[in-house]
Amino acid sequence: MRKISQVVLGSILTFASASVLADDHEMFAGDMDPAEPMSLQAQICNLNDGVSLDDYNKVTEKYRKWAKKNDAEVALFRQFPMMTHNNPSNPYPANFVEFLVTDFQNAGTSWDKWMSTKQGQKLAAEWADVGTCHIKMGALFTQWADVEAINTDNDRIVTWNWCSRREGVTHDDLNKAHAAVVEEYPDGLGNIGWFTLYPNIGGADAAGEFAHVVVYPDMEGLMQHQEWFAKGGWRSRMDYYQMADCTGEALMTEQVLGRPGA
């Protein structure tokens, strides 16, 4: 599990996001407020023997219909490894990772419906037949986002960078550093979102204390950020690395499988 955590199970306890958003800011799909923490459920999945992704997707579509019927819709994303820290002797240990994002109340009532209804339990059994998934829970914070782009872009690129605070560095110190980046680059750097994740259930094997999750619309956007890095942005990165030990970025492709109300 240590291997998979290097890409998908990070944490950062930060509350800076609310201070960088205007009072009349836009809302994420499902009426989720970017200024508030969101519930994130991570599902680290491998397809069972003889099961294709198409087979798995049939169950996913049944789940989406169930969620819509039972007022339990969430934002659903799936990520596939593209450029990770793994190699042939240390392969990536999952076929894909799924993320379910919603508010905490909906997360709780949806789980109750999933576990207590006959249809929910039937779907749970079907899911177990097609895939073996390990579930983790955490809280997701928005540092900066082009909300319209996040709400409409369905195929994108996501980087994960895992970090742990150095001795003597507080969360307030990190909050100030993150807020300073948003102030200096209010339109982003080729990206459409920057989020941080704090896992609180099932994250004991996380590769670090926290992770940065940066969303790009495409590889062109990612390369815009890489050009910034090559032309001097690396200095800012090194300054940040004086505050935190980080693994470096790993790259995933992401598909948006569903949004509430869609």
Give SS3 for 110: helix
Q: How many angstroms separate the CA atoms of 53 and 255, rounded?
A: 13
Answer whether residue 16 shows pLDDT above 50. no
Q: Which residues contact 248 (CB under 8 A, 6 or more apart)?
A: 85, 161
| Overall domain count for the chain | 1
Asked which of 90-94, 154-158, 208-212 is least confident by mean pLDDT, the reply is 208-212
Contact assessment for residue 35 and residue 141, using Cβ atoms and an 8 Å cutoff: no
CA distance 206 to 194: 20
The CATH number assigned to the domain holding 179 equals: 3.30.70.100
Q: CB–CB of 6/206 below 8 Å?
A: no
Question: Could you list the residue range(s) of the whole structural domain that residue 223 is in?
Answer: 2-258
* Residues contacting residue 59 through CB under 8 Å, at least 6 positions apart: 123, 126, 127, 130, 131
Over residues 131-184, the pLDDT tens digits come to 999 999 999 999 999 999 999 999 999 999 999 999 999 999 999 999 999 999
Helix axes 118-130, 104-116, angle to 10 degrees: 90
Helical (H) or strand (E) element with 80: strand 75-83
Total-model pTM: 0.89
CA–CA gap between residue 230 and residue 93 (Å, rounded) = 31
Q: Residue 8 pLDDT more than 50?
A: no
The pLDDT-based confidence of 24 (bands split at 50, 70, 90) is low
